[in-house]
Structure 1
Amino acid sequence: MKWYTDFFTDLANDFWRGAVQPAQTSAEVDFITGFAAPGARVLDVPCGSGRHSIELARRGHRVTGLDISADAIAHARALAPELDWRQGDLAELAGQDVVADLAICMGNSFGYLDHAGSQRFLADLASVAPILVIDYGCSAEALLPQLPGELRMSAGGVDMVAVNTYDVAGGRLLIDFTFTDGERTQRSTCVQHVYTAAELTRMLQAAGYASVDLYGDTDGGAFEVGSHRLLAVARR
């Protein structure tokens, strides 16, 4: 079973819903809409609890949100029942029968699959949308210079402890998470595959995207070693 199949339950989702401020979502959607025509069809995969999808719809876009988490989809549907919410696996995107003008993979969700799975995912996205925006916080240049061993945060009424280990041979970041709300505790391990910006660019090109631009954040600055994140914009 894939690790993310049962990772995003209510405790984890409550934490991330509380951890991300509205200003961050607004800045990310500002960045995304710079590559979308007015009223564009947008596929948000995985969409989580719908923060990007709902803001994109508010700005006039037609949005389909796909996520494997039943809790996340239920939360999103309660907030915006008029949108096209689908519970499903990003690894099975080809069976979703969706066409978009723009696809987005936000929230550091790229790299959940093994290498072959990531290649199929990108190829499926290229068949769905001519433009793709990926938010990838686990690129080697962003992650490795400042990899913390342990991180503690509290948000949404949930305390989180994350312990990081880097698998050199496998090129994987292993994160042992503990979420607790004082009564319940959830322990899960997240596995994210780490690529350099050049490797991701080659994967996107192999999937069918002719050009790839790399940004270091939503302000449009260039991506470089030590950037907070990698935002890749690919066009067919």
Structure 2
Amino acid sequence: MKQWYEELFLNYAEKYENEIYTHGTIGEVDFLEKEINKDKNFKILDIGCGTGRHAIELAKRGYNVTGIDLSPSMLEKAKENAKKADVNIDFNVADARNPHFEDEFDLVIMICEGGFSLMETDEMNFQILENASRALKKGGKLIFTTLNGLYPLFHSVKDFINSNAVEGVNEGNSFDLMTFRDKSTFEFEDDDGNLKVLNCNERYYVPSEITWLLKTLNFNKIDIYSCKLGNFSRDEDLTTEDYEMLVIAEF
């Protein structure tokens, strides 16, 4: 039986690219470049690359990029987009929970919940972090975004359920304060116009949890900031009003 995130991306590549949260690519890649001092020798791994928006923009700027994703259809669109952009990227269907690389990359990115936090157990989410760290060379950097547990914790559960933070989520939403998991129903149309309903299950994390998980993986410098669409910055402190957080970890 397929999980909800597998069902979602079976046939959603075209509509995915029109989602508002995909429109901040240029500013986000500007930030990534700044974080690696625009060193074109850096090898970059994009985990959960989707249709390739960050990978392609980085490749256009001269970086060596590899992209992996669980969805064959999203990767087909990524390859199509890369061809149109006239860039060469190694795109591969791969499950981020399984080890694929070791000491190969200078930078690993997981932007816009690229797998992490979507998994059905905390152990699976940790496996993704573990394999991301394994893929890094000594001295490498991991940059990712994830759901900010301070948001639903600070707001009342009722307000969180009734908020418009996530389009398509209906009244079936329920946030569990014991597990920090948000279970919701998501209604959408796939690329063929078929109406589908998914039972989603996402994990929110608080900064102290993320810090502990990354320290367990031997990262010694961990910074967490507010995550603003298209405007990643080290100048924006994380608040209870931020739906996502930006995490930067270094060995």
- Asked whether the two chains share a fold, i.e. TM above 0.5, the reply is yes
- 2:120 is the counterpart of 1:124: no
Structure 2-normalised TM-score?
A: 0.81
Deviations 1:51-85 (A, max 9, x none): 11111111111111100111100000011142100
Task: State the partner residue of 2:122.
Answer: 115
What is the deviation of 1:122?
1.4
Which runs of 5 or more residues in structure 1 are unaligned?
154-159
Deviations 1:114-160 (A, max 9, x none): 21122222122112122100111x2211344363436599xxxxxx6
Instruction: From 146, 149, 155, give the equivalent of 1:140.
Output: 149
Instruction: From 183, 189, 195, give the equivalent of 1:180.
Output: 189
Whole-angstrom CA distance in 2 between matches of 1:206 and 1:35: 23
The answer on whether the counterparts of 2:144 and 2:246 sit within 8 Å (CA) in structure 1 is: yes
Which runs of 5 or more residues in structure 2 are unaligned?
none
The within-5 A match list for 1:1-236 is 1=1, 2-11=3-12, 13-20=13-20, 24-37=24-37, 38-39=39-40, 40-81=42-83, 82-92=88-98, 94-96=99-101, 99-109=104-114, 110-113=116-119, 114-129=121-136, 130-136=140-146, 138-144=147-153, 145=155, 147-149=160-162, 151=164, 161-163=168-170, 164-180=173-189, 183-217=193-227, 218-220=232-234, 221-236=236-251
Q: What RMSD over aligned residues (CA atoms) do the two structures have, in Å?
A: 2.4
| 1:10 match: secondary structure | coil
What is the deviation of 1:192?
1.2
Change in Cα spacing, 1:97 to 1:74, as seen in structure 2 (3 Å) is: farther
Whole-angstrom CA distance in 2 between matches of 1:78 and 1:177: 28
Whole-angstrom CA distance in 2 between matches of 1:215 and 1:176: 29
Change in Cα spacing, 1:178 to 1:76, as seen in structure 2 (3 Å) is: same
What is the deviation of 1:21?
6.8
| 1:147 match: secondary structure | helix
Bigger drift between 140-149 and 110-119 goes to 140-149
Whole-angstrom CA distance in 1 between matches of 2:70 and 2:22: 23
Deviations 1:97-126 (A, max 9, x none): 672100011112321222112222212211
Whole-angstrom CA distance in 1 between matches of 2:65 and 2:51: 14
Aligned identity (percent) is 23
